[in-house]
Amino acid sequence: MQKVLEFIRVSTEGQAASDRASIPAQRAINRRTCAAFGLEIVKSIEIADVSGAMVMMAPEMQHLIQLIQDPEIHGVVAREFSRLMRPENFADFVLLQVFADSQTILYLPEGPIDFSSKTGKFMGTIRAAMAGFERTEQLERTWTAKEEKRKRGELAQSRIVLPFGVGYDAVNGFYYKPQTELVKEAYRQFLAGNHNYNKLAKLVGVTPRGMHCILRNPIWMGWRVIDKKRDTSSAGRYQRINGRQADRRKVPRTPENIIRVRVIDQPLVTEEEFQAVQRIMDLKEKKHWRSRDDYQHRFTYNGFLTCSRCGEPVQTALSRRDYYLCRGRRNTHTCSTKYMTREKLEASLDQLFSFDLSDPAFIERCIEEYNSSCGGGSNDGPRRIAGLTAQVQNLREKRSRVIDAFVDGTLAVSDRDRRLADLDREIAALQDALLREIPSSRPSTDDLVRLFAPLVEWEFWTREQKRQVLSAIAPDIRVADYQIQSVGIFVPAFSNESTHTDKDSWRRRA
């Protein structure tokens, strides 16, 4: 009997639940296919919460691609072609070439497909295109049906999209919940002169940004206005790790596609009150110092500094003078670093960028320290990557054994869920470590001198020119008490710490 892999995929986590029949049905059909063609399943690969358009991003699919390189693996058995893929763009067709190069046969209930043959190449391309076309048709039909419900004033999605204090049921439609009295009070206080979003947010029990959005929502006049939509193109999907289902970006609707329908007859506030609040908010936003084109920004390195003592981002502050200050010192009082005046710290940083980084002797010392920290210049990056990859592979095999034990009836549902959750956490941690591992190269002094040569005139550049370069190289500057510990500029994204935008944190007093 020929050895094959079983491939099972469901698009949502709900379809993978124990009370749903999708996975058992696929498994039963695959068993019948194997019996018809004399195949033996040596390993079953299951993917849940991954759409056919994102299947190449799933680690399970990458594992399958590795397995089919084995000459002993004759093919892959699946319930239908769409389980393998539903291509959303031409780049997805690379999976067919992988099957062709490894001479792997795809076994379906209606017959095998050999992608390495002329007929199989033609039929495989047609089947993949049809699967992608079916997915597009499904999305369009779903979108059209939801649009009709929205135009009729009905809720076309789950209740998670409902605004704060608004409910919905099929009988009564949209309605206000009791907590909307807090929103009404917020409108009253705003019109009475309380324009502080923080105070209003505490009154309602939301975030300041949430309070801003609540005051902007025309639902309080009884109108539901939908002026945005999800981008249904392939470029509109957010990328999630492991290819799991993700949301799509929101894009503005064209004026003719904006939906405006009255859904509540008794509004919470009058149209005059709502429009008065909007005018005040517009004026408040227009006059805010962050929105002023003539505002002179003073800080150059804000957003690129991290405290070398506690690891918190370094923010900007104003206390009679401009300062850089560790967030751990300012917010939680857990760091003992000093306030650093803007002029003194930026002078040191300008010195580093304009003189030190173009000095061959300084760069040579940096390379020596770097090689020393890496174990005398030894490059053990590939060894670490291989070790992490092996650990991930072992955990995935262990995960498959847990699923097999559950299918055989030797493992309870609670034990299965607990073990799978533990394994998934370990796999995710190892995968994050793999993503952080990059090949460790050893740059030469001459290369770095040429690279940093344009920075000789750094001190003569404008703030905007410096910020443009800093944004391009995304440096991780570690500093505390005016002492610059390190500057990391070779890794594109050095951490996931929160940083500030190109706006100084505090406005200078008049």
Residue 234 structure tokens:
């392939």
**CA geometry: angle at 382 spanning 381 and 387, to 5°?**
100
For tokens 């999800």, the residue is 230
Task: Specify the amino acid at residue 283.
Answer: L
Quick one: pLDDT at residue 239?
A: 62
d(CA 367, CA 440): 13
* 173-176 and 105-108 beta bridge pairing: unpaired
* SS3 label, residue 341: strand
Helix extents (H) in 152-266: 180-192, 197-204, 208-216
Give the residue with greater pLDDT, 272 vs 238. Answer: 272
Quick one: pLDDT at residue 440?
A: 47
Quick one: pLDDT at residue 508?
A: 43
Quick one: pLDDT at residue 364?
A: 79
Quick one: pLDDT at residue 377?
A: 46
Quick one: pLDDT at residue 111?
A: 92
* SS3 label, residue 485: strand
d(CA 148, CA 212): 29
pLDDT-based confidence at residue 76 (cuts at 50, 70, 90): very high
Q: Read off the pLDDT of residues 221-255 as tens digits, 9 standing for 90 and up.
A: 999 999 998 887 767 766 666 667 667 788 899 99
- The number of residues in the chain equals 510
Contacts 24+ apart (CB under 8 A), 155-160: none
Quick one: pLDDT at residue 186?
A: 94
Quick one: pLDDT at residue 509?
A: 41
Quick one: pLDDT at residue 295?
A: 65
What φ, ψ does residue 322 adopt, rounded to 5°? -80, 135
Instruction: Enumerate the β-bridge partners of residue 307.
Output: 479
* SS3 label, residue 369: helix
What φ, ψ does residue 479 adopt, rounded to 5°? -145, 150
Q: Read off the pLDDT of residues 439-478 as tens digits, 9 standing for 90 and up.
A: 445 566 777 777 778 888 888 888 888 887 887 666 788 9
Statement: residue 504 has pLDDT above 60: no
Helix extents (H) in 217-359: 271-287, 327, 342-354
% residues pLDDT > 90 (the chain): 34
Highest-scoring range by mean pLDDT, 61-75, 421-435, 492-506: 61-75
d(CA 219, CA 267): 8
The closest of 139, 109, 142, 114 to 31, measured between CA atoms, is 109
Residue 158 structure tokens:
């789950």
Local structure of residue 491 (DSSP, 8 states): S
Give the residue with greater pLDDT, 440 vs 127. Answer: 127
Helix and strand totals (H; E) in the chain: 16, 17
Highest-scoring range by mean pLDDT, 275-279, 386-390, 403-407, 484-488: 275-279
Burial readout 346-359 (b: 16 or more C-beta within 10 A, e: otherwise): beebbebbbebbbe
* SS3 label, residue 321: coil
d(CA 149, CA 142): 11
Helix extents (H) in 288-341: 327
193-197, 266-270, 415-419: which range is least confident on average? 415-419
End-to-end CA distance of the chain: 85
Mean pLDDT value across residues 413-426: 80
Return the H-helix or E-strand segment holding 176: strand 173-176
d(CA 448, CA 363): 7
9-13, 244-248, 397-401: which range is least confident on average? 244-248
pLDDT-based confidence at residue 491 (cuts at 50, 70, 90): very low
The Cα diameter of the chain in Å comes to 85
Quick one: pLDDT at residue 492?
A: 37
Mean pLDDT value across residues 112-134: 90
Quick one: pLDDT at residue 499?
A: 40
Helix extents (H) in 19-78: 22-37, 59-67
Instruction: Enumerate the β-bridge partners of residue 480.
Output: 483
66-70, 111-115, 502-506: which range is least confident on average? 502-506
Statement: residue 287 has pLDDT above 50: yes
Count of Cβ atoms closer than 10 Å to residue 299 Cβ: 23
Quick one: pLDDT at residue 10?
A: 86
Helix extents (H) in 271-341: 271-287, 327
C-alpha 334 chain-centroid distance: 30
d(CA 107, CA 68): 14
For tokens 């004033």, the residue is 153
For residue 226, give every residue at least 6 positions away whose Cβ sits within 8 Å of its Cβ, in sequence order, or none: 150, 253, 258, 259, 260
Tell me if 107 sits within 8 A of 39, measured CB to CB: yes
Q: Read off the pLDDT of residues 35-52 as tens digits, 9 standing for 90 and up.
A: 999 999 999 998 888 776
From residue 208, alpha-carbon distances to 165, 200, 428, 505 in Å are 16, 8, 33, 17
From residue 476, alpha-carbon distances to 312, 325, 439, 495 in Å are 12, 16, 19, 8
d(CA 450, CA 443): 11
Across the chain, mean pLDDT equals 82
Mean pLDDT value across residues 358-386: 67
